[in-house]
Structure 1
Amino acid sequence: MPMNPPLTAGNATGQPKPRDDDMASGTTARRDSAAYRDFRAARDQLLASRGDLEAARAFPRPEGEHFNWALDWFDVEAEDNHAVGLRVVDLDADGTLLRETALTFAELRERSDRTAGWLRAQGVVRGDRILLLLGNQVALWEVMLAAIKLGAVVIPASTLLTPDDLADRLARGRVRHVVAESALTPGFTGLDGDWTRISVGAPVAGWLDYADTAHHTGAFTPDGPTRAEDPLLLYFTSGTTSSPKLVQHSHRSYPVGHLSTMYWIGLRPGDVHLNVSSPGWAKHAWSNFFAPWNAGAEILIVNQPRFAARPLLDAMVRHEVTSFCAPPTVWRMLLLEDLTQWQPPLRELVGAGEPLNPEVVERIQQAWGVPLRDGYGQTETTAQIGNAPGQPVKPGSMGRPLPGYDVVLVDVVTGAEITEDGVDGELCLPLTSRPLGLMAGYQDDPKRHAESMAGDRYHTGDVAQRDADGYYLFVGRSDDVFKSSDYRLSPFELESVLIEHPAVAEAAVVPSPDPLRLSVPKAFIVLTPGHEPDAETARSILAFCRRRLAPYKRIRRIEFADLPKTISGKIRRVELRGQEEKLHDLHGAGAATPRGDREFWEEDLPRG
């Protein structure tokens, strides 16, 4: 059932006091408000423009002064809506069902009202920062909705953070309240401060019990209008190339901005959407919160103690998943199975987090007959670029600019805009047509903020090319692109060739210092099951690359090793680069450089 219930008289319980022009109490008043009408008009045009990217890009931008997504959109759409809005499925290590919880949109509305009222009774007020340390459990969605209604600012955090990480979040985030899983509360031991402690799960001494929200009574009434530019979210970035930045988003930039993400995924009312993403990271809000509920789709969560492809695929069939999003690492793990054995009613398949290699795109298409569409965005934005639904997909390409975004390429040295096709440049967003989904800025870091917005453009720090059809090809992080014999090399391009080899499950390419060429490409490789990390496997991979790469791009060194990743799953090439530089600084870059037991150089292996 779509999340578009018929107009009703509504129930004033939990609705705001009158305000300004359209603030009479009750859901009917909100349905008649400019905030709701503008958002609905934008959403509906995007839904109607599937397959017509130009029409979608002309959607009317909701730009009113006031907007509160939970009150002005979610609550209105959820009234008397008994379709499932959230389903959480918990599996054990063998894939056996432990529990399943399904909540309708109407239930989520009522529960989040009670949660908001209870949090207010504990001292949470507009503008307070709430650190949220929860896994994929119902309380996460309840607290998110409640915080938006209250006007509080949420700092989502990964459940894998260390005590030092938590201390950093508490201090830099200026946290006033913490909502954490009971099992994770020991991580706060010794972290003193005047902040409210709320545990979810078993009671914890010294912490308030979140279970008390179920007994809270009384209507929730907001304390006034929410400005669309008020802060809503603070995200610590995953730190692939530097220390985590603190990104601030507003009530406009993420809820409204994620209309672009909804369009890219191709979500429709009544869809069942599954996204593999951990709480605490921006992609979780993209695909497990705002984009599905912008469309009126069901969010399906499949929790596993450790990722296993088969139980996930079984769940996709059992729950009739129509839309599926996963990072490239998960797509590669899924391809270790014969996907033709599972045939869920899929219509949309997308990947994000890191670029999708062409080999992965083609194999998924062969297995399921559904195009796997890549997209691009950042914590600082919503989905900027994507292979849009109903449009031709170019494997290896990020796609074209999505509704709400204009994109330019800029010369990294001169700052001049690049107009030629096929030329490397930094992806930038012109601020003269400021994207709806662009962050408000980096908190407490004016230097970094000024650098990111220099020249009246937002600088992504990513390098790409544009082809004659307007599709953008990812080259790499500006920090990841490197020179070898004076040629600029893209790690992504070389990694895309490597994973076509049947022995390669994952690969990361970095420069390895060389006295003649300055540096040469070195690949750190994770093998697929059944292949040994020995000289014969290395010889086979190097020969494979020789046949497919120009001599100046050739992989010259291989090391079989696990890949360091952020806790959001992105490869930390910066760590591998540092490892190489340190090794060669210590021992020199010549042939006498020590090598690991699983490292092989091209010159060591006769071609035979």
Structure 2
Amino acid sequence: MAQAEQADQAPDGFDWAIPETFNFATDVVDHWATDGDPLALIWQNAAGDERRFQFSDISHLTKRVAHAMREAGIAKGDRVLIVMPRIPEWQISLVAAMRIGAVPIPCIEMLTAREIAYRAEHSGAVAVVCRAGHAERIEPGLDAVAIRFSVGPRAGWRDMTEAYDRSEEAEAATVAAEDPAMMYYTSGSTGYPKGVVHAARAVFGWRYAARYWLDLRPGERIWCGADTGWSKAGTSVLIGPWSEGAASFHYDGPFDPAERLRLLARHRITVYCAPATELYRVVQEDIAAHDLSALRRTVSAGEAMNPVVADQWTRATGVPVAEAYGQTETLMTALTTTEVTPKLGSMGMAAPGCTLAVIGDDGHRLPDGEVGHVALLTPCPTMMLGYWNDPERTEQSHVSGPDGRWFLTGDLASRDADGYFWYEGRSDDVINSAGYRIGPIEVENAVLEHEAVQECAVVGAPDDERGEVVKAYIVLKRGVTPDDALVADIQNHVKRVASPYKYPRRIEFRDDLPKGHTGKVLRRALRDEARTQAQAGRE
């Protein structure tokens, strides 16, 4: 028997109510600036420096930066790389770009010049915004980018912060619901990262996850530590909280589990959004030593939550962990809303307004309890417009069935009789390590540039703390002797030519790699081997 119709978490009369036009800068930021003007942003760094912004502050600053962007030649529809750490200028530059109808592309600072070059050339970006101190590192990748803004003075660049004191404010662009509004790059199992383009309707629709999952209210405070290039930061640090009139706490400092607890207490955080990897470390601290009385909701997404960790957190704080699930292409499609009881380890239930199912290769729904592809029925307002300049790949990510056209998420899961989804792994080779999506090809290409390497295959290996870690199986060139020094050298090489988070934490040297009859490396066989090794190590 196929799955029953999904359990409905939506409130009575739920309606997406997508407007014909939507500009986040005017319809959210400017709205709250004149409707009570609540606190929008609290920023702190590791040194203890702090800055606070009301919505009116964000409104005025983004109008002035938007004017400077337009004056520099950025127009509606232009792509703008935002290469920024967790500083207020990340929010300010993103909203300023959206104000004039440009399409921001958030990027983490860890990206190398080569990775920036790919994004710049692939997207056709006309502009970039980054810290002055970081500009030198990525300049070699910006040959095709003519308009350059820095946070702070840098020769040959426009200082974005100079606009803060000017009086000129940009008129906002009219952005239709189907106009491109944001773009993210996400790793796939083959080739280079894909450009995921979201329409203004999706930016509008992200408020519902903030309302029904994050359960945010005007005047409340959320802390989500997602990195600035992740779509999760877009939804849970910027778009979601501000759509609901809530403030985001933005911390620019290293991860320290004890410091996490101190900051939660100090800033009276009401909603804490943490991936499983983070909670795994935080629950080992003395939680009782901190005043978390303001905390009323804890949520998690991005990677599978260990039920034991979730239970430890709940016992220590009295606040259960409400999980959710989504992708860069769709954003949150399964939620644990305030209306349902969390099931530890579950991905949640289909989000309000979303039809999520477990289907077979033929597009038919599978019976409850059976493992299959997690798929989203389209059209759906939060679904991407498509992969940038790649209609073929966009089409390949869909399959048709009796219910219509499904988007395949790339994940495998089962669904229980109550409508909760349970993660069973990836259907492709993408590695999810501590919430970072890592494409094996990107790492393999970097490893193969090392002078000692003949062949390489990269897979995700199970890890108790990070969920998965990157493992490289390497065949060395003739005459090269494997040792610990070579392992370290290969790892450091990958850190130099690719983002540091992509380096292989585990390396195994082999005489050969398993291959099919066409000569293609069988990553699945290696992945199964890595899982078997991990399981044996736990026994």
Q: State if a TM-score over 0.5 links the two structures.
A: yes
**How far does residue 261 in structure 1 lie from its aligned partner after superposition?**
4.0
Q: Closer, same or farther in 2 for the Cα pair 1:104/1:150, shift >3 Å? A: same
Evaluate the alpha carbon distance shift between residue 149 and residue 157 of structure 1 in structure 2; reply closer, same or farther with a 3 A threshold. Answer: same
Choose the corresponding residue for 1:318, options 238, 263, 266: 266
**Structure 1 residue aligned with 2:451:** none
Give the Å deviation of 1:506.
4.5
- Kept in 1, the 8 Å contact 2:347–2:423? The answer is yes
Q: Which residue of 2 aligns with 1:466?
A: 415
Shift of 1:169: 0.9
Please tell me the residue identity of whatever aligns with 1:292.
Answer: P
When normalised by structure 1's length, the TM-score is: 0.70
Aligned partner of 1:197 among 129, 132, 148: 148
- The yes-or-no answer on 1:107 pairing with 2:107 is no
Q: Give the Cα separation in 2 of the matches to 1:75 and 1:604.
A: 55
Would the aligned equivalents of 1:241 and 1:479 in 2 still touch at CA under 8 Å? no
User: 1:257 is aligned with what amino acid?
Assistant: W
Give the aligned length: 462
State how 1:405-444 maps to structure 2 within 5 Å.
Answer: 405-412=354-361, 414-418=362-366, 420-431=367-378, 434-444=379-389
- Residues 133 and 159 of structure 1 are in contact (CA less than 8 Å); yes or no, is this contact kept in structure 2? yes
Q: 1:80 to 1:286 in 2, by over 3 A?
A: closer
Partner in structure 1 of residue 224 of structure 2: 275
What secondary structure, in the 3-state scheme, does the structure 2 residue paired with 1:259 have? helix
Given the alignment, which residue of 333, 336, 342 partners 2:290?
342
Give the whole-Å Cα distance in 2 for the aligned partners of 1:283 and 1:377. Answer: 9
Amino acid aligned to 1:70 = A
| TM-aligned CA deviation for residue 387 of structure 1 | 1.5
Q: 2: distance between equivalents of 1:582 and 1:299?
A: 51
Counterpart AA for 2:30: D
How far apart are the structure 2 equivalents of 1:567 and 1:269? 37
Q: Counterpart of 1:158?
A: 108
Tell whether the 8 Å contact from 1:118 to 1:216 is kept in structure 2 after alignment: no
Task: Supply the AA of the counterpart residue of 1:267.
Answer: L
Structure 2 counterparts to residues 3-402 of structure 1, below 5 A? 54-56=9-11, 58-79=13-34, 81-92=36-47, 97=48, 99-190=49-140, 191-201=142-152, 203-223=153-173, 225-239=174-188, 243-304=192-253, 306-344=254-292, 345-402=294-351
Seen in structure 2, the aligned counterparts of structure 1 residues 510 and 152 have a Cα distance that, compared at 3 Å, is: closer
Deviation of residue 231 (structure 1)? 0.5
Distance 1:474 1:603 in 2: 22
Q: Is the 8 A contact 2:270 2:297 kept in 1?
A: yes
**Residues 1:123 and 1:480: Cα distance change in structure 2 (over 3 Å):** closer
Amino acid at match of 1:62: A
The SS at the match of 1:139 is helix
Secondary structure at 2:222 match in 1:
strand
Aligned amino acid, residue 340 of structure 1:
A
Q: Alpha-carbon deviations, 1:493-549, whole Å to 9, x = none?
A: xxxxx98xxxx5445499999xxxxxxxxxxxxxxxxxxxxxxxxxxxxxxxxxxxx
CA distance in 1, matches of 2:535, 2:242: 52
**Is the Cα–Cα contact under 8 Å of residues 185 and 195 in structure 2 kept in the other structure?**
yes
Q: After TM superposition, give the deviation of residue 582 of structure 1 in Å.
A: 7.5
The one-letter amino acid of 1:60's match is: D
CA distance in 2, matches of 1:237, 1:132: 15
Q: Distance in 1 between matches of 2:171 and 2:413?
A: 48
Say which is worse superposed, 119-128 or 469-478, in terms of deviation. Answer: 119-128
CA distance in 1, matches of 2:98, 2:302: 26
Structure 1 CA distance for aligned equivalents of residues 356 and 338 of structure 2: 19
3-state secondary structure, aligned to 1:429: strand
Counterpart in 2 of 1:534?
Answer: none
Gaps of 5+ in 2: 1-6, 431-461, 474-490, 516-531
Distance 1:262 1:235 in 2: 23
SS for the counterpart of 1:324 is strand
Provide closer, same or farther for how the CA distance between residues 479 and 510 of structure 1 changes in structure 2, counting only shifts above 3 A.
farther
Give, as a single letter, the amino acid of the residue that structure 1 aligns with 2:102.
A
Q: Aligned pair in 2 of structure 1 residues 337, 238: CA closer, same or farther (>3 Å)?
A: farther
Q: Where in structure 1 are there 5+ consecutive unaligned residues?
A: 1-51, 482-497, 514-560, 587-598
**Alignment-mate amino acid for residue 373 of structure 1:** A
Question: Contact 2:9–2:351 at 8 Å: present in 1 too?
Answer: no
Query: Residue 176 of structure 2: SS of its match in structure 1?
Result: coil
Instruction: Work out the CA distance in 2 between the residues paired with 1:604 and 1:143.
Output: 47
Tell me which amino acid in the other structure corresponds to 1:341: A
Tell me how far 1:567 sits from its aligned partner. Answer: 6.1
Question: Are 1:254 and 1:437, in contact at CA under 8 Å, matched by a contact in 2?
Answer: yes
> Residues 345-377 of structure 1: CA distance to partner in whole angstroms, max 9, x if unpaired?
111101111111111111111110110111100
Q: Give the C-alpha shift of residue 471 in structure 1.
A: 0.6
The aligned counterpart of 2:439 is: none
SS in 2 for 1:426: strand
Change in 2 beyond 3 A, CA 1:443/1:603: closer
Q: How far apart are 1:115 and its partner, in Å?
A: 1.3
Equivalent-residue separation in structure 2 for 1:341 and 1:329 (angstroms): 22
8 Å CA contact 2:28–2:242 kept in 1: the answer is no
Paired residues for 1:513-528 under 5 Å: none
1:485 alignment partner in structure 2: none
Give 2:395's aligned residue: 450
Contact 2:277 2:467 in 1 (8 A): no
For 1:415, give the aligned amino acid: G
**What is the SS of the residue equivalent to 1:189?**
helix
Q: Which moved more, 1:382-391 or 1:54-63?
A: 54-63
Q: Is the 8 A contact 2:222 2:271 kept in 1?
A: yes
Contact 1:67 1:251 in 2 (8 A): yes
